[in-house]
Amino acid sequence: MVSASLFLALCFSAAVKAHEHHDELSEENENLPIDTILWLHIFLQAAVWGILFPVGMVLGLSRSRWHVPLQSTGLALTLAGYFLGHAHKGRQFLEGVHGAFAKIIFIPIIAQLVLGIYLKLHIHEQTLRPWAVRLHGVVGKLYPVIGWTQMLFGAITFRGYCRGGHLGQCLAHYIMGSGFIAYGTIMAIMFLVGEAWIRRSGRSPEWWDSWVIMLWGIVNTFTEHRGAHWSVKDMQHTIMGVLWWAGGLLGIFLSRNNQRNVVPSIIIILTGWGMSEHAQALMISTRVHAVFGYTLMLAGVTRIIEICFFVPSYASKSPSEIPSPDDVSDHTLAEGSREESPNAVGAKVAGGRAFRHLPSFLLVAAGLLFMSATDEELDFVHDNEMDHVTYILIMFSLAFIIYTLIVSLIHLYTISGRNASPSSSSSSYVPLSFLGDQTNNIELVRTPTTSVSGPTKWYARAPNDRDRERSRLVSHHTTHVIGDDEDE
């Protein structure tokens, strides 16, 4: 199927002629209807790049046998959508980045196919194959970013936005808004399945946050002002860049010795406050910016609560890796010596699991609100007599849908491929809630143990009654062991 898809890609690339775009369009063109072919193109490509390819990427990460069939199907549908996008009639669109990027997308697609075929051959095991595995993984993880970018370009082209003097504002809103959504997604991954990776990295989450904030602030400091005159917004945006690199520098210092700190959260709160105070030409724009700022401030507050009250201990249990008493503060990742009862432990874990989604979701919602707050979009909303309440609730509804997709993909990773149920009675799976730090662990992944018959398979069948009984006995035994340790 992969070979057939590659053949189809080459054939379509040669056979499909470039769709006719225009440098100028008449006013009558704006009243032309969107034909069925173009609607099919929109919904098909959105389904493939927004759902199908991300699901296939997750199945690849969990090494499920369904990864290759799903990605091959996605490629075939992408080619069909590309053809439909060049075959529609009715309303025409100005030449733009969406059409150019559609051609660039085929580079990673073909590269991924070639790498996949090469890896299936199992040759050059000790030389080229390890590098091919890494490259295959990098390209695969770029698929959601590529899909998001192209869908955003499509929406911009559809509405005719971001031309002329509006380009700078579009770049600011769409890049930063997408950055907040990515931040929320990465935070959700860290909270749900990333604890083991954070332990291995030897760095607290705030160390990574602070570096990104500092570098982003340096860029913004020197790119937000143009020309000789300093406007109010120029000054606000520039000083916000200074705030980010200055605060990021402090966050990096406070994150030494694997410690946690609240500096990135404070920067998020101050950024939200600054954005909520931006003066706008339209009242609806002022209110949308205000709600965006409040949402971002709330995300920062909830992150502080997560750090101070629901923090998992990411530090290694090895005594040599635990910071010295002089370096340990209230925000350290090292394990404390205070003993807690089993009931208190259970309540704390339950509270952490319920709370962990709030900072991530609020960042996703804030990102969508900021992306929806450009002058062109809000002019369109104002002209159609929609009030700010309706518009903001629409954005929050989209945030719920996007966050549902995010956590669904994370959950799929925990139950598919090598993370699925045991494939034989000789393999035992220990629930993660009984691994690592027993008081604060919030990771969802089940960790397989290697049996005498070898490692677990990439794809496992559904468990039977004997498997469930074995898992129950292992969990029951581990619970008693933990209880005895706490009593000591």
Domain assignments of the chain as residue spans, ordered by start: 1-160, 166-406, 419-487
The answer to whether the beta carbons of residues 119 and 129 sit under 8 Å apart is yes
Backbone angles phi, psi at 434, to 5 degrees: -110, 15
Predicted local distance difference test score (pLDDT) of residue 71 = 92
How far is Cα of residue 475 from the mean position of the Cα atoms in its chain? 32
State how far the Cα of 264 lies from the Cα of 262, in Å rounded to an integer.
Answer: 6
State how far the Cα of 420 lies from the Cα of 445, in Å rounded to an integer.
Answer: 10
Q: Give 141's pLDDT tier (boundaries 50, 70, 90).
A: very high
Q: What percent of the chain has pLDDT over 70?
A: 71
DSSP for 406-462?
HHHHHHHHHHSGGGSS-SSTT--EE-GGGSS-TTT----PPEE--BTTBSPPSS-PP
In the predicted structure, residue 243 carries a pLDDT above the cut 90: yes
HSE on the CB side for 247, CA within 13 Å? Answer: 23
In the predicted structure, residue 337 carries a pLDDT above the cut 60: no
33: DSSP letter: P
- Number of neighbours of residue 486 by Cβ within 10 angstroms: 14
Predicted local distance difference test score (pLDDT) of residue 308 = 87
DSSP for 47-105?
HIIIIIHHHHHHHHHTT-TTHHHHHHHHHHHHHHHHHHHTT--BS--B--HHHHHHHHT
Cα angle, residue 381 at apex, residues 49 and 100 outer, rounded to 5°: 35
Judged on CB neighbours under 10 Å (0-12, 13-18, 19+), 390 is exposed
What is the pLDDT of the chain when averaged over all its residues?
A: 78
Beta-bridge partners for 430: 447
State how far the Cα of 364 lies from the Cα of 370, in Å rounded to an integer.
Answer: 10
Predicted local distance difference test score (pLDDT) of residue 414 = 92
**Section 87-112 average pLDDT:** 87
The answer to whether the beta carbons of residues 189 and 410 sit under 8 Å apart is yes
State how far the Cα of 264 lies from the Cα of 212, in Å rounded to an integer.
Answer: 10
Predicted local distance difference test score (pLDDT) of residue 488 = 40
Give which of 361, 338, 302, 360 is closest to 440, Cα–Cα.
338
The answer to whether the beta carbons of residues 169 and 374 sit under 8 Å apart is yes
Predicted local distance difference test score (pLDDT) of residue 457 = 36
Q: What are the C-alpha distances in Å from 98 to residues 187, 261, 367, 416?
A: 29, 41, 21, 34
HSE on the CB side for 36, CA within 13 Å? Answer: 0
Q: Give 396's pLDDT tier (boundaries 50, 70, 90).
A: very high
Q: Give 334's pLDDT tier (boundaries 50, 70, 90).
A: very low
The contacts of residue 350 (CB under 8 Å, 6+ apart) are none
What pLDDT digit, counting tens, does each position of 267-289 carry? 999 999 998 887 777 889 999 99
In the predicted structure, residue 257 carries a pLDDT above the cut 80: yes
**Section 152-174 average pLDDT:** 88
In the predicted structure, residue 65 carries a pLDDT above the cut 60: yes
Helix residue ranges per DSSP H, 194-231? 195-201, 205-221
Structure tokens at 304: 């502080």
Predicted local distance difference test score (pLDDT) of residue 180 = 94
State how far the Cα of 4 lies from the Cα of 10, in Å rounded to an integer.
Answer: 10
- Number of neighbours of residue 65 by Cβ within 10 angstroms: 12
In the predicted structure, residue 449 carries a pLDDT above the cut 70: no
Q: Give 32's pLDDT tier (boundaries 50, 70, 90).
A: confident
What pLDDT digit, counting tens, does each position of 364-374 carry? 999 999 999 99
Counting DSSP H helices and E strands in the chain, the numbers are: 18, 2
What pLDDT digit, counting tens, does each position of 202-239 carry? 888 899 999 999 999 998 888 877 777 888 878 888 89
In the predicted structure, residue 348 carries a pLDDT above the cut 70: no
In the predicted structure, residue 335 carries a pLDDT above the cut 70: no
Predicted local distance difference test score (pLDDT) of residue 404 = 97
Give which of 145, 187, 174, 393 is closest to 287, Cα–Cα.
393
**Section 194-198 average pLDDT:** 83
State how far the Cα of 259 lies from the Cα of 268, in Å rounded to an integer.
Answer: 19
Among the residue ranges 120-124, 141-145, 230-234, 326-330, the one predicted with the least confidence is: 326-330
How far is Cα of residue 297 from the mean position of the Cα atoms in its chain? 20
**Section 141-145 average pLDDT:** 94
Predicted local distance difference test score (pLDDT) of residue 303 = 93
Judged on CB neighbours under 10 Å (0-12, 13-18, 19+), 423 is buried
More confident: 314 or 411:
411
Predicted local distance difference test score (pLDDT) of residue 459 = 33
Residue with tokens 């990605």: 71
Beta-bridge partners for 344: none
State how far the Cα of 206 lies from the Cα of 191, in Å rounded to an integer.
Answer: 13
**Section 406-414 average pLDDT:** 95
What pLDDT digit, counting tens, does each position of 286-320 carry? 999 999 999 999 999 999 998 888 765 554 444 44
164: DSSP letter: G
Among the residue ranges 72-86, 89-103, 251-265, the one predicted with the least confidence is: 89-103
More confident: 433 or 197:
197
For residue 160, what is the enclosing H or E element?
none
More confident: 316 or 458:
316
Q: Give 482's pLDDT tier (boundaries 50, 70, 90).
A: very low
